[in-house]
Amino acid sequence: GEIPGREKPEEVVVMGGHIDSWDVGQGAQDDGASIMACLQALALMNKLGLQPRRTIRVAFWVNEENGGRGADAYRAFVGDRIKGHVAAIEMDGGAEAPLGFGAGADQNSMEMLQQIGTLLARVGAGQIAGGGGGADIGPLIRDGVPGLSERTVGTRYFDWHHSEADTLDKVDPQDFRKNMAALAVMGYVLADMPGRLHSATEPRP
């Protein structure tokens, strides 16, 4: 799903997580809560009547654990339009309280992201650090798209991860709302700001 950009619809900020199937558990923290937080971030923008300059899109990738076919399929879908992707955001660390974002961006872009981080301090998600990425957005990053990963406290994530304990009751509604807010603000600003990010490895014009 997406909200088309009002000025530059060909430029895209994509965010999402992945659907996996498990023999145990429900996959609530890995990665169901993440994809729903991304979807709800766009739903919130839509409810508020916000239409950024660029298109903002949510993707539910699949098969992250054993092949990455969802990531590869999305990259194939994008094709030559990859140049229009200004950022890719992945949430794959559970939906505990958010801390901020990791980003694979050059120094100028990191400074812009730090400014966005000040908007996220109210929900405790203002930390901006290097190292953004993830399996779902890996093919996009390899082709020069700046990648961001939303980060959470991860206090209990590996107690639940890939186990029968990964069930919906482990998702705290307040933490979920904070994640949704962090994704909504980061996604909207990246899609609406006049300039665009540059990856740490992308040659500058």
> Distance between CA atoms of 50 and 157, rounded to whole angstroms?
33
Nearby residues of 80 by Cβ (< 8 Å), 6 or more positions away: none
Is there a catalytic annotation at residue 90? no
Residue in 2, 7, 64, 150 annotated catalytic: 64
Q: Give the number of other CB atoms < 10 A from CB of residue 49.
A: 6
Question: What secondary structure does DSSP assign to 83-118, as a single string?
Answer: GGEEEEEE--S-SSSEEEEEEEB-HHHHHHHHHHHH
Residue 81 exposed, middle or buried by CB count within 10 Å (0-12, 13-18, 19+): exposed
Asked if residues 39 and 28 have their Cβ atoms less than 8 Å apart, the reply is: no
Catalytically active residues, by annotation: 64
